[in-house]
Amino acid sequence: MTCLNDSNAFVLPVRVYYEDTDAGGVVYHANYLKFMERARTEWLRTLGFEQDTLAQELNIVFVVGSLDIQYRKPARFNDTLNITASISDLGRASMVFKQSIWRDSSNNSPELLTTASVKVVCVSMGTFRAITIPKQIRELLQ
Protein backbone atom coordinates (compact mmCIF):
# COMPACT_ATOMS: atom_id res chain seq x y z
CA MET A 1 0.00 0.00 0.00
CA THR A 2 1.29 3.45 -0.84
CA CYS A 3 1.59 5.76 2.13
CA LEU A 4 0.89 9.45 1.78
CA ASN A 5 4.34 10.08 3.26
CA ASP A 6 6.06 7.85 0.68
CA SER A 7 8.80 10.07 -0.75
CA ASN A 8 8.63 8.18 -4.07
CA ALA A 9 4.93 8.87 -4.58
CA PHE A 10 3.65 11.67 -6.77
CA VAL A 11 0.83 13.54 -4.99
CA LEU A 12 -1.94 15.45 -6.77
CA PRO A 13 -4.32 17.56 -4.65
CA VAL A 14 -7.95 17.47 -5.81
CA ARG A 15 -11.07 19.23 -4.55
CA VAL A 16 -14.34 17.30 -4.78
CA TYR A 17 -16.90 19.31 -6.73
CA TYR A 18 -20.64 18.83 -6.80
CA GLU A 19 -20.34 17.35 -10.31
CA ASP A 20 -18.18 14.53 -8.86
CA THR A 21 -20.91 13.34 -6.50
CA ASP A 22 -24.19 11.50 -6.58
CA ALA A 23 -27.45 12.86 -5.14
CA GLY A 24 -26.25 12.01 -1.62
CA GLY A 25 -23.10 14.12 -1.93
CA VAL A 26 -20.82 11.06 -2.13
CA VAL A 27 -18.23 10.75 -4.90
CA TYR A 28 -19.54 8.47 -7.65
CA HIS A 29 -17.41 5.30 -7.82
CA ALA A 30 -16.12 5.86 -11.38
CA ASN A 31 -14.81 9.31 -10.48
CA TYR A 32 -12.13 7.79 -8.23
CA LEU A 33 -10.69 6.29 -11.43
CA LYS A 34 -10.74 9.74 -13.05
CA PHE A 35 -8.85 11.23 -10.10
CA MET A 36 -6.24 8.46 -10.39
CA GLU A 37 -5.91 9.00 -14.14
CA ARG A 38 -5.27 12.69 -13.53
CA ALA A 39 -2.53 11.85 -11.03
CA ARG A 40 -0.78 9.49 -13.48
CA THR A 41 -1.06 12.08 -16.28
CA GLU A 42 0.33 14.88 -14.10
CA TRP A 43 3.13 12.62 -12.87
CA LEU A 44 4.11 11.89 -16.49
CA ARG A 45 3.97 15.63 -17.21
CA THR A 46 6.37 16.36 -14.33
CA LEU A 47 8.80 13.93 -15.98
CA GLY A 48 8.62 16.04 -19.15
CA PHE A 49 6.23 13.95 -21.22
CA GLU A 50 2.90 15.12 -22.58
CA GLN A 51 0.58 12.32 -23.68
CA ASP A 52 -0.44 14.06 -26.90
CA THR A 53 3.23 14.60 -27.80
CA LEU A 54 3.99 10.92 -27.14
CA ALA A 55 1.16 9.97 -29.50
CA GLN A 56 2.27 12.38 -32.22
CA GLU A 57 6.05 11.98 -32.02
CA LEU A 58 6.57 8.42 -30.74
CA ASN A 59 3.30 6.92 -31.97
CA ILE A 60 2.53 5.46 -28.52
CA VAL A 61 -0.14 5.78 -25.88
CA PHE A 62 -0.42 4.37 -22.38
CA VAL A 63 -3.64 2.46 -21.72
CA VAL A 64 -5.04 0.79 -18.63
CA GLY A 65 -4.66 -2.96 -18.99
CA SER A 66 -6.13 -3.95 -15.63
CA LEU A 67 -6.95 -2.55 -12.24
CA ASP A 68 -7.84 -3.65 -8.76
CA ILE A 69 -9.50 -1.08 -6.52
CA GLN A 70 -10.65 -1.10 -2.91
CA TYR A 71 -13.13 1.49 -1.72
CA ARG A 72 -12.64 1.90 2.04
CA LYS A 73 -14.47 5.12 2.92
CA PRO A 74 -16.44 7.58 0.81
CA ALA A 75 -15.18 10.95 -0.34
CA ARG A 76 -17.78 13.69 -0.13
CA PHE A 77 -18.64 17.01 -1.69
CA ASN A 78 -16.06 19.72 -0.92
CA ASP A 79 -13.44 17.32 0.51
CA THR A 80 -9.81 18.06 -0.23
CA LEU A 81 -8.15 14.88 -1.45
CA ASN A 82 -4.58 13.86 -2.18
CA ILE A 83 -4.21 11.33 -4.97
CA THR A 84 -0.92 9.39 -4.92
CA ALA A 85 0.81 7.46 -7.68
CA SER A 86 4.01 5.44 -7.57
CA ILE A 87 5.38 2.65 -9.73
CA SER A 88 5.56 -0.70 -7.97
CA ASP A 89 6.64 -2.77 -10.98
CA LEU A 90 8.25 -1.81 -14.29
CA GLY A 91 8.05 -4.35 -17.08
CA ARG A 92 9.22 -4.26 -20.69
CA ALA A 93 5.94 -2.85 -22.05
CA SER A 94 3.99 -2.12 -18.88
CA MET A 95 4.15 -0.63 -15.43
CA VAL A 96 2.05 -1.18 -12.34
CA PHE A 97 1.04 1.85 -10.31
CA LYS A 98 0.11 1.70 -6.67
CA GLN A 99 -2.36 4.50 -6.08
CA SER A 100 -4.26 5.80 -3.12
CA ILE A 101 -6.71 8.52 -2.28
CA TRP A 102 -6.46 10.32 1.05
CA ARG A 103 -8.78 12.89 2.60
CA ASP A 104 -7.25 15.90 4.30
CA SER A 105 -8.75 16.33 7.71
CA SER A 106 -8.85 19.22 10.11
CA ASN A 107 -6.66 17.44 12.68
CA ASN A 108 -3.82 16.98 10.13
CA SER A 109 -4.18 13.20 10.16
CA PRO A 110 -4.92 12.10 6.56
CA GLU A 111 -7.64 9.48 6.15
CA LEU A 112 -7.16 6.66 3.64
CA LEU A 113 -10.23 6.35 1.39
CA THR A 114 -9.23 4.22 -1.59
CA THR A 115 -6.34 2.06 -2.78
CA ALA A 116 -5.70 0.64 -6.22
CA SER A 117 -3.21 -1.26 -8.32
CA VAL A 118 -3.32 -0.09 -11.95
CA LYS A 119 -1.43 -1.83 -14.75
CA VAL A 120 -0.67 0.59 -17.59
CA VAL A 121 0.54 -0.75 -20.94
CA CYS A 122 2.51 1.07 -23.65
CA VAL A 123 0.83 0.40 -27.00
CA SER A 124 1.41 1.37 -30.62
CA MET A 125 -1.12 3.90 -31.95
CA GLY A 126 -1.38 1.95 -35.21
CA THR A 127 -2.05 -1.52 -33.85
CA PHE A 128 -2.93 -0.98 -30.19
CA ARG A 129 -0.59 -3.87 -29.39
CA ALA A 130 1.88 -3.74 -26.53
CA ILE A 131 5.33 -2.41 -27.41
CA THR A 132 8.49 -1.75 -25.42
CA ILE A 133 8.43 1.45 -23.36
CA PRO A 134 10.77 3.88 -25.17
CA LYS A 135 14.27 4.19 -23.72
CA GLN A 136 13.98 7.91 -22.89
CA ILE A 137 10.89 7.22 -20.78
CA ARG A 138 12.22 4.03 -19.19
CA GLU A 139 15.37 5.81 -18.03
CA LEU A 140 13.30 8.32 -16.05
CA LEU A 141 11.15 5.57 -14.53
CA GLN A 142 14.01 3.50 -13.14
Catalytic residues: 22
d(CA 68, CA 70): 7
Which residues lie closer than 8 Å to 18 by C-beta, 6 or more apart? Answer: 77
Q: One-letter amino acid identity for 40? A: R
Paired with 69 in beta bridges are 116
CA dist., res. 99 & res. 69, Å (int): 9
